């Protein structure tokens, strides 16, 4: 696997308006690596969920930056036909918040009983091959990987 040094980085203000730039960087990278449209789509959604989460909650009404790093790595085919993977890491310096600690929504409830929270992170957990959170040196660091 490649080290973090091989990842492309983009630091932007944590506002929804910057989502396009962040998704664009990763989409371009995936297209260049020959990823199928379905993979690009799945990764774009995961980026939206995690990036917007930082925009809305990390800085508690104030503004701050989020660093987005992304890189393609080669991997062993473990039977799923995937030979590559994409790793995406979001780092912010907002309040400590572990999105993975949130309980999964009960997806068997009816429309009336369903609440609107927790859906985004749940979609990310289900669609990515790995997700990881750590808090280090005043930073929230969220990393996710998708094989393709």
Note whether 112 binds another protein by CB under 8 A.
yes
3-state secondary structure of 67: strand
Q: How far apart are CA 118 and CA 46, in angstroms?
A: 13
# binding residues, another protein (CB under 8 A): 25
b/e burial code for range 76-110 (CB count within 10 A of at least 16 → b): eeeeeeeebbbbbbbbbebeebebeeeeebeeeee
Token pair 């669609």 is found at: 127
Contact region with another protein (CB under 8 A), list: 24-32, 61-69, 123-131, 136-144: 123-131
Nearer to another protein, 7 or 64 (CB): 64
Of 108, 136, 137, 138, the residue at the interface with another protein (CB under 8 A) is 108
Q: Which of 5, 62, 101, 111 touches another protein (CB under 8 A)?
A: 111
Q: Which is nearer to another protein, 101 or 111 (CB)?
A: 111
Query: Which stretches of 34-123 are assigned E, i.e. beta strand?
Result: 65-74, 84-92
Q: Which chain residues interact with another protein by CB under 8 A?
A: 16-17, 19, 38, 41-42, 44-45, 48-49, 52, 107-112, 114, 116, 119-120, 122-123, 126-127
């Amino acid at each position: 696997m490649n080290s973090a040094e091989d990842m492309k980085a983009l630091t932007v203000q944590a506002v929804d308006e910057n989502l396009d730039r962040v998704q664009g960087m990763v989409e371009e990278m995936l297209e260049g690596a020959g990823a199928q449209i379905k993979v690009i789509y799945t990764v774009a959604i995961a980026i939206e969920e995690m990036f917007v989460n930082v925009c809305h909650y990390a800085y508690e009404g104030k503004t701050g930056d989020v660093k987005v790093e992304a890189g393609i790595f080669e991997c062993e085919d473990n039977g799923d036909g995937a030979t590559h993977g994409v790793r995406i890491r979001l780092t912010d310096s907002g309040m400590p918040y572990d999105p993975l600690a949130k309980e999964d929504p009960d997806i068997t409830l009816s429309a009336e009983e369903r609440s609107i929270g927790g859906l985004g992170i749940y979609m990310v957990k289900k669609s990515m091959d790995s997700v990881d959170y750590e808090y280090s040196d005043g930073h929230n660091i969220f990393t996710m990987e998708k094989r393709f």
